[in-house]
Amino acid sequence: MKKGKKNKNNIAKNILIFILVFFILAAMLSWSSKNSSKSSVVGLSSVALDINNEKIESIQVEGSKMAVKYKDGHEAKAIKEVNQSLSQALSDFGVDKNKMSNVKIDIKDSSESDVWMTIILPFLVPLVLIGVMLWFMMRGVQGANNKAMMFGQSGAREANPDNQVKTTFADVAGAKEAKEELMEVVEFLKAPKKFADLGARIPRGVLLLGGPGLGKTLLAKAVAGEAAVPFFSISGSEFVEMFVGVGASRVRDLFAKAKKRAPCIVFIDEIDAVGRRRGTGLGGSHDEREQTLNQILVEMDGFEPNSGVIVIAATNRPDVLDPALLRPGRFDRQVMLDAPDIADREAILKIHARQKPLADGVELRRVAERTPGFSGADLANVLNEGAILAARHNKKKIDSQELFDAIEKVILGPERKSRIITDKEKKTVAYHEAGHAVLSYFLGDANQTHKVSIISRGQAGGYTLRLPTEDKHLHSRSEYFDELGVMLGGYLAEIEVFGEMTTGASSDLQRVTELAKNMVTQFGMSDNLGPRTFGKRDDMIFLGKEIHEERDYSEKLAETIDSEVASVIKQAQEKAKGILINKRAALEKVVAVLLEKETIEKDEFAELMKEFS
Ligand code: ADP
Ligand code: ZN
């Protein structure tokens, strides 16, 4: 890394100096020529005439140039042919020999400097320029094949100066299966001979699959740390550079370095950036990516069996990877990382709370309960935000309240108390949020209302924070109907109370539509369409979202799907509306408290609802 950077800096420096020298030379040339043309230029005939009239005091000759000094003090320049002597030139113009001897003649041998300035330099400068340009171009072309090429050095980083990663499996909470899989790799790295003697073939590549922040990098480091071997890391997105061929040469360089330090770990983050399925015909510089990917494959195939270099790659898009990567002898081990469950979340929190003083009575289990779906990185962030909040409150220890506030901050973005809203708007937001909360309570929603607030956060005017009571992976049809009802709650309350809706419900409605559509087309939850799915989704990789849906059903069915989606929403809406009318008193109660206190916490909300159930 350092070397590559230095080289690049050198090139930049060289170019700069080069340009600078060029400009200085150009300036000098133009200055000297300007200087010489300062005094007036006269013809040889007038010089001869002035000599005859005894007006001239002296003449200085330098090559072809003559500086003429007059007796009245003024000066002039004249030019003669280079190879002609002065007296000869002047006598051609009929100068009087006697008068000529009265003029002081001073001949300077200037041919050297003059020849440099006027003949060689103008010829040399463009030549040198062209030469340098050619040289740079040659280097660029050679790049693809030249190992020593400066651009091509891999940006691989070794973790520590002493190459010893300090991370171990103890720093990774949860991920039990993943650790077990990787333990095998650790054992091999520790004692390669033991396996080789038995003829065992050790995997060359391990692919870590999982969403962002789930600890893929952390696990790879931990493997290196456990086995006490060097750790090289590079990110797939770094490969994609300006110059074609650089990616491939970087890969070569990286593996050359790694082989020298074997046994070791090579970690390739975001491998999907180079390892996408080839030949999709999308995106610009495919050659570059393909060459890089090919080089990775060549390197992996080229290892001696048990050479001791193990490649760990990470991606959150296994679906877009080129199948060639997954063949035996390449990334044939795949380790899946899931979002942590409640026990894992508690363990992760414990690890990250090591350096942070927690107040007595803080139970990390409570934090884990409130953070379903959080990744390890999110949880680390919660503790960090909590510490920041505590510091801002001038506390020495972090309290539960700060941690809970930190959770909300991580989910919803910071509170914006300063946003000014009119009383009318405040009332609308209060009814809207109360609608969500009351419906969540009476629909027997699987989620629990943790907080209702009319303080705006991020984009939202107010918010109702509902969190699942447990980690759930399966959802039933009735649950989804309830979910639709709760999401419609804000919209329905606004209509019920004010007779019309506002724009505040727009994102709710988007989510309602999305869910209803999935219920009908993906989960087989509609009455009339039966147990099948509609439409094959093809994810278009680099936009990161679906832009294309292959229709595998008829035009007629498409209409039915539309009307089914509408009817699912209608059904949920009717039920929710009924409850809202029935429990209007509860709605009014929540609104009154919200307008007074702006926020209602979980326990207080449950208390409020008691008298209505
Ligand atoms: P990824 O590479 O999957 O995007 P990282 O390995 O970079 O995620 O994780 C980001 C951070 O999240 C880590 O540095 C660590 O602090 C935290 N983290 C993630 N998962 C765990 C875990 N299982 N145990 C402890 N910390 C974790
Ligand atoms: Zn809403």
What is the identity of the amino acid at 585? A
User: Do 138 and 83 share a structural domain?
Assistant: no
Is 19 within the bounds of a domain? Answer: yes
Residues 384 and 469 placed together within one structural domain of the fold: no
pLDDT computed for residue 321 by the predictor: 80
pLDDT of residue 190: 86
Of 170, 269, 164, the closest CA to residue 224 belongs to 164
Answer whether residue 127 is part of any domain.
Answer: no
By percentage, how much of the chain surpasses pLDDT 70?
84
Regarding the beta carbon of 348 and ligand 1, being less than 6 Å apart is answered yes
Residue 428 lies in a domain: yes
Which residues are paired to 265 by β-bridges? 231, 310
Is residue 310 domain-shared with residue 249, that is, in the same domain?
Answer: yes
Number of domains in the chain: 5
Taking the CA atoms of 442, 445, 450 and 454 in sequence, report the sign of the dihedral they define.
Answer: negative
> In the annotation, is 299 catalytic?
no
Q: Is 213 in the pocket of ligand 1 (CB under 6 A)?
A: yes
For residue 351, give the ligand nearest its CA. 1
Angle, alpha carbons 577-582-586 (nearest 5°): 105
In a domain, 417, yes or no: no
Question: Which ligand has an atom closest to residue 494 CA?
Answer: 2
446 domain residue, yes or no: yes
pLDDT at 49: 83
Residue written as tokens 């639709």?
484
Whether residues 216 and 327 share a domain: the answer is: yes
Catalytic option among 402, 433, 483, 564: 433
Which segments of the chain have a pLDDT < 70? 1-12, 29-39, 109-117, 139-165, 239-245, 277-287, 305-306, 417-420, 458-459, 536-550
* pLDDT the model gives residue 114: 63
Measure the CA–CA gap between 475 and 374, rounded to whole angstroms: 19
Are residue 104 and residue 187 in the same domain, yes or no? no
Residue 86 is predicted with a pLDDT of 77
pTM: 0.63
Distance 379 CA to ligand 1 centre (A): 9
314 lines ligand 1 (CB under 6 A): yes
Q: Would you say residue 358 lies in a domain?
A: yes
Tell me, yes or no, whether 331 and 182 share the same domain: yes
**Mutation test residue for ligand 1: of 214, 218, 382, the one with most atoms within 8 Å of CB:** 218
Domain carrying residue 356: 342-412
Are residues 329 and 216 located together in one domain of the fold?
yes
Q: Do both 312 and 398 map to the same domain?
A: no
3-state secondary structure 505-547: HHHHHHHHHHHHHHHHHCCCCCCCCCCCCCCEEEEEHHHCEEE
Strand pairing partners for 542? none
Sign of the torsion formed by the C-alpha atoms of 70, 76, 79 and 83: positive
Residues contacting residue 247 through CB under 8 Å, at least 6 positions apart: 239, 240, 241, 274, 288, 289, 291, 292, 295
The residue among 85, 1, 12, 99 whose CA lies nearest residue 51 is 99
- Ligand 1 pocket, residue 212 CB under 6 Å: yes
Q: Is residue 585 part of a domain?
A: yes
Decide which of 315, 335, 355 is a domain's last residue.
335
One domain for residues 517 and 577: yes
The CATH number of residue 100's host domain is 3.30.720.210
Are 527 and 540 part of one and the same domain?
yes
User: Would 124 be classed as within a structural domain?
Assistant: no
Q: Given 288, 312, 335, which residue is the final one in a domain? A: 335
Q: What are phi and psi of 341, to 5 degrees?
A: -85, -175
Choose one of 149, 178, 205: the last residue of a domain: 149
Question: Ligand 1: does its nearest atom lie under 6 Å from the Cβ of 214?
Answer: yes
Radius of gyration, alpha carbons of the chain: 40
Provide the pLDDT for residue 7. 53
Q: Are 572 and 488 in contact (CB under 8 A)?
A: yes
Rounded to the nearest angstrom, the distance between the alpha carbon of 109 and the centre of ligand 2 is 94
Joined together, the tokens standing for residue 590 give 């929540």
Question: Separation of 312 CA from ligand 1 center, angstroms?
Answer: 16
Q: What is the 3-state secondary structure (H, E, C) of 350-373?
A: HHHCCCCCECCCCCHHHHHHCCCC
Nearest ligand 1 atom to the CA of 220 is 6
d(CA 496, ligand 1 centre) in Å: 46
My answer on whether 575 and 527 are in the same domain is yes
Distance 486 CA to ligand 2 centre (A): 9
CATH of the domain at 518: 1.20.58.760
Instruction: List, for residues 434-469, the tens digit of each pLDDT value.
Output: 999 999 999 877 788 888 988 887 667 788 888 877
Output the domain CATH number for residue 385: 1.10.8.60
CATH number of domain containing 217 = 3.40.50.300
Q: Domain check: are 433 and 350 in the same one?
A: no
Residue 135: predicted pLDDT: 85
* Residue 174 CB–ligand 1 contact under 6 Å: yes
Give residue 261's pLDDT. 84
Buried b (16+ CB within 10 A) or exposed e, 381-417: bbbebbbebbeeeeeeebbbebbbbbbbbbbbeebee
